A and B are shown apart, each in its own frame.
Chain A
Amino acid sequence: MIWQLDIAILTLVVVAAIGAIAIKDLLGCAILFGAYSFMMCLLWSIMGAVDVAFTEASVGAGVSTVFFVAAVFRTTRRTKD
């Protein structure tokens, strides 16, 4: 467990989470959610949970982001808050 890498990736995770709920464009929200999933996958591979990291990389950063983008495409992209 290299603590410098740990603190850097944890900071990026918190920044991506705050950005994903504060941004006003729903497509940017979906992309930031994909970045959040990727950072989570890195955190778990640092901790040694390789099966969980594999699943999160394929499910969270792959298929889940595609579902969000498809739903935003079919509804609307603007939001008021």
Chain B
Amino acid sequence: MKILGIIVVILTGALLIYAMGDFPSWADPVSPAHNHVSPRYIEKSMAETSVPNIVTAVLADYRGYDTMFETTVIFGAGVVCFFLLRIPRKDEPTVRRYRHMLTGMTIRVKETRKIPPVLEEFERIDTLWAPHDLIIKTSCRILVPFLQLFGLYVIAHGHHSPGGGFQGGVILGASMILLAISHDLRTAIDRMSERVHAILCPVGVLIYAGTGALCLVLGHNFLDYGALAGILHVDPVAARSYGILIVEIGVGLAVMATMIWIYNNISSKGNYDEGL
């Protein structure tokens, strides 16, 4: 199999290098990729949408269909991970470990008797993961609200600087993953339960598609944000800028919820009990 792989790879590589001979030289200002639609986007986007970041304007306004279906794909991936892994299995015996906080002794308790979920002097530790450190817990707990503030800033400032809905949503999701890694998975699920992030994911997609449907109801085309000028009482150029902001918030919510969802499912193998 390895020899077949090497032969296929060398043949394909040789064909591609032969096809590269016709390409324009790198970073040529008059290559055909720069000549047709892109000059219109660069010259007209500030006048039509009043958003200085051309990439955000093209992503959320001129090519808004692609972004809407991409958000749906992200939501679909979260749902698939949920269906693959989140099945409670009845054949494994559940053994829990507790540590006595005053003396540091660890005990193992089998699930054959009824255990109350919270014991006063004992804390629950994971089976495979080392006991947690106080320094890591404290410093990560201080860091998480600043991460979330930065994520909200990246979403809101996507009009003027690199950023936007995706990047801010991933940073917000990463803040909850940091909480789950430094403390327990159970602490993170106490903060943001499974029902909350499973509902937030389709709410993000609904905000995006709902804005498009609202524009359709008001008489213009689907995802034509100039129709929002009547509701928001501004001129159509500023209405497009606000429409881009609303759909970026929808995208950010969907991406954040999906990242947390996939991480919870992968790291705890389905039962939301013990994680990484």
Number of interface residues of B (CB under 8 A): 24
Encode B148-180 as 1/0 by CB contact (under 8 A) with A.
Answer: 000000000000001110110011011001000
Quick one: given A54-B167, A58-B171, are A67 and B55 in contact (CB under 8 Å)?
Answer: no
Encode A58-80 as 1/0 by CB contact (under 8 A) with B.
Answer: 11001100110111011000000
Number of interface residues of A (CB under 8 A): 17
Q: Which of A51, A55, A67 touches B266 (beta carbons < 8 Å)?
A: A67
* Contact B269–A74 (Cβ < 8 Å): yes
Encode B62-74 as 1/0 by CB contact (under 8 A) with A.
Answer: 0000000000000
Per the bound structure, the CA–CA distance linking A11 and B122 in Å amounts to 53
Q: Is B50 an interface residue (CB 8 A)?
A: no
* Contact A70–B162 (Cβ < 8 Å): no
* Contact A58–B170 (Cβ < 8 Å): yes
* Contact A63–B170 (Cβ < 8 Å): yes
Query: A residues touching B (Cβ–Cβ < 8 Å)?
Result: 1, 50-51, 53-55, 58-59, 62-63, 66-67, 69-71, 73-74
A–B pairs, 11, beta carbons within 8 Å: A51-B53, A53-B162, A54-B167, A55-B167, A59-B170, A63-B170, A63-B259, A63-B263, A66-B177, A66-B181, A73-B128
